[in-house]
Chains A and B, each alone.
Chain A
């Protein structure tokens, strides 16, 4: 009875609203005048059809735009998902720039060599983003998961919008439930990132711009040199991402040296990733990651990534807090933490491209050190097993 009354009320309300809408907006058609209506609005109709056609064309050439403007998070995660890996290395830009899988390849772990190595480093990410990347990108737990961690990964003041592309709806729900203060932010970015997929022109706009710049510069040299340079850098980066092991260092980090930058007086660039340092919410995702690895039988090693002396001097309290958290995790969860400090690895300012990223020389030194450390860890664990 109540349901009937509600249905009647809804029907009449809907009829009333539709009637008022039609009577007040002379643009809505009645069925018998649909043709006349379409004729009157044919400009808009053609316009909409034109936009749909344009989007279809853009979508069908998406590989072209993506080659110039790769979606590094999605591409890295998707490529990781396609393979089975012995070793997956996760972390932020210190990992994506500083860990070369080809050097780590062959390191021995639990008596067997690690042949298939993937770098799942996400530049600008947080521990929350790395958990989502692992959750969606690692289809089967690897034998070894290395997390190249650094202080900024755990800073709760950091909310990075590009991470929203990796979220599934269930991740969004969890986030909103556990971190209500940032639920509006994450919902907005989740919607923005996912709705973008419905409009291909918007989605690929930067790739189209770079493609056009490259084309124009080839045809008329000097027309748009800056954009063409950006396009070439995009192509290089994209080629790296497509190599198959996730390793795609940015060309600009390769040869830069912090000691030279300091000598030129350029060390004063701000480093916003450690400001207003708070640890807690991202840390919860680290525990989630460790639980996931434990359930899947994957070994986990945390590597405290090397940073420049200048950065540590600038943020002593933040690094102090971070390292105490790291020690606590090591103790409570029985984890192995490799402390890749500068002295241990043998790194100096000449090995850094800036305050936090290793250059090509530093990367080679660090990766060789890491491989040796893993082998040593392997020997220790083998000895323990024999004992």
Chain B
């Protein structure tokens, strides 16, 4: 079920009404779990067993880890959970990719009769997200950070809680499970803030992301038909689209969760204001990057085993992060590219730290502005790798972004035209204004600080713009595919 679909706008009020009408904690949570499972099974009912199976395995593994008397015993049950979750993820998400690559390799190595299989496996909803939640739970129990959950309903609800089920935020057990212990009560600020985040998410998704997609899709489908200026605007528009799409989903999830009395972690913090790539990953998809740090990078040894091992760990973590985003070489390259940028940043940071002139330079506002622009440009180069449909198209747009297109591909793009609908700069400007209005002042959202009457006016205007100017048929959230 899509948050921006009609079905969801019928589903949500019904679930909210029944949830708050039910008298006791247990009945509320049982009902919420049932609603979450319905939400999960809505689109592809025959994958319902996947979430049930992984929930049962992780629930049992948590208890068995806690009950095991020896470290080896604990490790065995942890392994069961890891193999189950990663096995499902690999089977559904990477089988087609692996088979395709093996066959391509076989053909390249002189087996021309290799079968031309094109596997098209439909992903179970949110599998990348709920498997990571399951892993984080069993690892935390193994590390002794949290006790194992004894009530299956509580654990299953942690995995399947519908606002965050499909596209995050990736909630940790330590963040969510304690909220189940206290009686579910919704405060007035949660109701109002829920409305705020819900409308903000919907506005970002429907009014900005879906509109920008109409421009981005066309340019990236045939980049050879457009000139370098159009390419640059398409990249800016895609940066705005993916941010508004994904952070919009997170905002919707956070808003929805508040109406049920739950707090979900923040997933974005104005990432395009980052002044380094390291900071970008602290502001972009925060719950994924911290998950990668805590359960992969640190498990690999983190920065405790010397410089070269640290750089290797960084590269491996980011490459796997890229692979998590999608089973295509584009994503692997994008992850590796980000790893390289992080390594370079770390090297540069090490070299400059402690030097007085470097500290003075870093303190200058102009330098900060320059680093923000540079970081955004580096991020944009990475986004092109993800968005391009062909390597040729990718190269063409990258050249435009690097300012080399005029000379490098002039003959190929001699007939290329400039196409820039006026609303594209307006919407890109709106994303930039949002960053400036709240992010530069270090606020979570500046609208929350406005007087009540102005806030209400802003919400009503947002509804007006969403309904009247959002595209008729809402596209699926980009992060659903991950």
Q: Is the interface of B mostly helix, strand, loop or mixed?
A: helix
| Contact call A223/B422, Cβ cutoff below 8 A | yes
| Chain A residues, CB < 8 A from B195 | 43-44, 47
Partner of B460, one of A16, A41, A47: A47
Contact A50-B457, Cβ < 8 Å, known A21-B20, A201-B464: yes
| Contact call A40/B188, Cβ cutoff below 8 A | yes
Min C-beta distance of B208 to chain A, whole Å = 16
- Residues facing B in A178-236 (CB within 8 A) are 192, 201-202, 205-206, 208-209, 212, 220, 222-224
A267 in the interface (beta carbon within 8 A): no
| Chain A residues, CB < 8 A from B472 | 206
Looking at chain B, what size class is its interface with the partner chain? 20 to 34
B459 in the interface (beta carbon within 8 A): yes
| Contact call B463/A201, Cβ cutoff below 8 A | yes
A25 in the interface (beta carbon within 8 A): yes
- Residues facing B in A32-61 (CB within 8 A) are 40-47, 49-51, 54
Partner of A224, one of B183, B422, B456, B457: B422
| Contact call B186/A224, Cβ cutoff below 8 A | no
- Inter-chain CA distance A238–B421, complex, in Å, is 27
| Contact call A24/B468, Cβ cutoff below 8 A | no
B53 in the interface (beta carbon within 8 A): no
- Inter-chain CA distance A50–B456, complex, in Å, is 7
- Residues facing A in B434-482 (CB within 8 A) are 452-453, 455-457, 459-460, 463-464, 467-469, 472
| Contact call A41/B192, Cβ cutoff below 8 A | yes
| Contact call A21/B21, Cβ cutoff below 8 A | yes
Partner of B453, one of A16, A40, A46: A46
- Tell me which of A17, A24, A27 has the highest count of chain B C-beta atoms within 10 A of its own C-beta: A24
| Contact call A50/B459, Cβ cutoff below 8 A | yes
Closest chain B residue, CB of each to CB of A207: B468
| Contact call B456/A47, Cβ cutoff below 8 A | yes
- Inter-chain CA distance A162–B455, complex, in Å, is 37
A20 in the interface (beta carbon within 8 A): yes
| Contact call A20/B23, Cβ cutoff below 8 A | yes
Min C-beta distance of A69 to chain B, whole Å = 11
| Contact call B452/A202, Cβ cutoff below 8 A | no
| Chain B residues, CB < 8 A from A50 | 456-457, 459-460
| Contact call A205/B468, Cβ cutoff below 8 A | yes
| Chain A residues, CB < 8 A from B265 | none
| Chain B residues, CB < 8 A from A42 | 452, 456
| Contact call A220/B452, Cβ cutoff below 8 A | no
| Contact call B469/A24, Cβ cutoff below 8 A | no
B76 in the interface (beta carbon within 8 A): no
| Contact call B184/A24, Cβ cutoff below 8 A | yes
| Chain A residues, CB < 8 A from B453 | 46
B143 in the interface (beta carbon within 8 A): no
- Inter-chain CA distance A205–B463, complex, in Å, is 11
| Contact call A20/B21, Cβ cutoff below 8 A | yes
A26 in the interface (beta carbon within 8 A): yes
| Contact call A25/B20, Cβ cutoff below 8 A | yes
Closest chain A residue, CB of each to CB of B422: A223
B185 in the interface (beta carbon within 8 A): yes
- Inter-chain CA distance A50–B460, complex, in Å, is 6
Contact A201-B467, Cβ < 8 Å, known A27-B186, A43-B192, A47-B460: yes
| Contact call A24/B456, Cβ cutoff below 8 A | no
Min C-beta distance of A155 to chain B, whole Å = 25
| Contact call A51/B463, Cβ cutoff below 8 A | yes
- Inter-chain CA distance A318–B290, complex, in Å, is 62
| Chain A residues, CB < 8 A from B186 | 25-27
| Chain B residues, CB < 8 A from A44 | 191-192, 195, 456
| Chain A residues, CB < 8 A from B469 | 209, 212
| Chain A residues, CB < 8 A from B183 | 24
| Contact call B423/A224, Cβ cutoff below 8 A | yes
Closest chain A residue, CB of each to CB of B20: A25
- In the complex, the 8 A-B pairs of residues with the closest C-beta atoms, listed nearest first: A46-B456, A20-B23, A50-B460, A47-B456, A223-B422, A25-B20, A208-B468, A40-B188
Supply 22 A–B pairs (Cβ within 8 Å), ascending by A.
A17-B21, A17-B23, A21-B20, A24-B20, A24-B22, A24-B185, A25-B186, A27-B188, A41-B192, A42-B456, A43-B455, A44-B195, A46-B455, A46-B457, A47-B455, A51-B460, A54-B463, A201-B468, A205-B468, A212-B469, A223-B423, A224-B423
A residues engaging B (CB < 8 A)?
16-17, 20-21, 24-27, 40-47, 49-51, 54, 192, 201-202, 205-206, 208-209, 212, 220, 222-224
